Amino acid sequence: MVSVVYAGQYEREFLFQTVEKHFALLSLDRLFSPEMKVVIKPNLLMKRRPEEATTTHPLLVEAIAAALKKRGVTHITIADSPGGLYSPSLLQGIYKASGMEKAAAGQKVSLNTDVSHRDVACSAGTVCKKFPIITPVAEADLVISVAKLKTHGMVGLSGGVKNLFGCIPGLTKPEYHWRFPKEEDFCHMLLDLCETVKPAVTFVDAVISMEGDGPSSGTKKETGMVLCSQSPYEMDEVLCRVAGMDPKTIGTVRLARERGLFCGEPSLCGDPLKTFSFALPKSRRDLSFSSYIPKPLRGVSNLLIQKCLTSRPSVMKNKCIGCGKCAESCPAHTIQIRDKKAVIDPKGCIKCYCCHELCPIHAIEIRRSRLFDL
């Protein structure tokens, strides 16, 4: 079940009412007790202001904290591991820029600055049997994920499942890109992670979403909704409808169905679902020619397509300031800073687009083969 509530603006009292509607629609009160340790896990990808639509809006997080306090929950922590280094000072800077500092103060809840982690087993994992999980999430009695609806250069959709990648600490995340460079394997890893964290509730901030070159360099899109579900898998299927995406093209959704993590069509309650046609990231617009090629030749042809036609990250020298964030986040270590400019070695690039995702000034673009423009 996925609940839908229209929300055309980020206004404090209005969002408080919106969250209360979701609690009523899904009977969420039964999940909480006063003695619980509850973690609210937003999407805090990087140091961005709320109006840039890259991060979960702080007023939605504050509204969820207020709803928990109303139900007697007192041990509430806002926690995430953004991209890049994971340190108390960097966390504090992101909390301030994203508005989470103000949201936490408004409800007198905690902002996590503990940068330790715990290894948590995933006995049912397909590609991973354990994960390093940031301590507040590992020790929580209940996790509420608060995602932001965005397109994503590598996996297509940043929603309920992808939001949990921020439960892996700091620069450990690029290691998972290196271990699982293929999209399908990476999506299996994300599903294993979701089964490890097991969020009890997933909210999605789809008041203003992001299309195009998400999750950080796309274009804002007014979608006017907040969604909620106890199933992150059903949530992502519904988000595909919102964005006008074929669920079969989104690995986390397709593979979740194949693994039996959910089945059937998600049911909806609340307001009617709004649907749109999101612009896709450049990295997702590449054409596949394999269906036109005889089966015996597809193996070779796919290798050629992968090598010659797949979109690649490219540094815009006139914008690059040589901050090194891209090199820091590159799992393949193919980026160097030379003469105060980033340089990408194309031979070693695994096309995970971490550099594009985490560049603070949008100085890395996704460049498609010119053949697609013919």
Structure confidence at residue 368 (pLDDT) = 64
pLDDT tens-place string over residues 245-295: 999 999 999 999 999 999 899 999 999 999 999 999 988 765 444 444 455
Report the alpha-carbon angle 43-74-93, nearest 5. 35
pLDDT tens-place string over residues 165-201: 999 999 999 999 999 999 999 999 999 999 999 999 9
Q: What's the CA gap between 62 and 15, in Å, rounded?
A: 9
Give me 96's structure tokens.
Answer: 């301030």
The class (CATH top level) of 2-270 is: alpha beta
pLDDT tens-place string over residues 17-53: 999 999 999 999 999 999 999 999 999 999 999 999 9
Three-state SS at 137 = helix
Q: Tell me the β-bridge partners of 268.
A: 2
Mean pLDDT, residues 203-210: 98
Structure confidence at residue 374 (pLDDT) = 42
Residue type for position 135: T
Residue type for position 46: M
Structure confidence at residue 294 (pLDDT) = 54
Least confident of 207-216, 261-270, 273-282, 361-370: 361-370
Mean pLDDT, residues 193-210: 98
Structure confidence at residue 286 (pLDDT) = 52
Structure confidence at residue 296 (pLDDT) = 59
pLDDT tens-place string over residues 117-136: 999 999 989 999 999 999 99
Structure confidence at residue 282 (pLDDT) = 86
The residue to which tokens 């799992």 are assigned: 331
Q: Which residue has the higher pLDDT, 75 or 289?
A: 75
322 touches 337 (CB < 8 A): yes
Domain 286-373 falls under CATH 3.30.70.20: yes
Burial class of residue 237 (count of CB atoms within 10 Å of its CB; 0-12, 13-18, 19+) = buried
Least confident of 123-137, 205-219, 292-306: 292-306
Each domain of the chain, given as residue ranges in start order, spans 2-270, 286-373
Percent over 90 (pLDDT), the chain:
79
Q: What's the CA gap between 156 and 255, in Å, rounded?
A: 14
pLDDT for residue 222 is more than 60 = yes
Name all contacts of 260-265 with Cβ < 8 Å and 24+ positions apart: 261/191, 261/195, 261/233, 262/231, 262/233, 262/234, 262/237
Across the chain, what does the average pLDDT equal? 91
Within 10 A of 172 (CB to CB), how many other CB atoms are there? 14
pLDDT for residue 298 is more than 50 = no
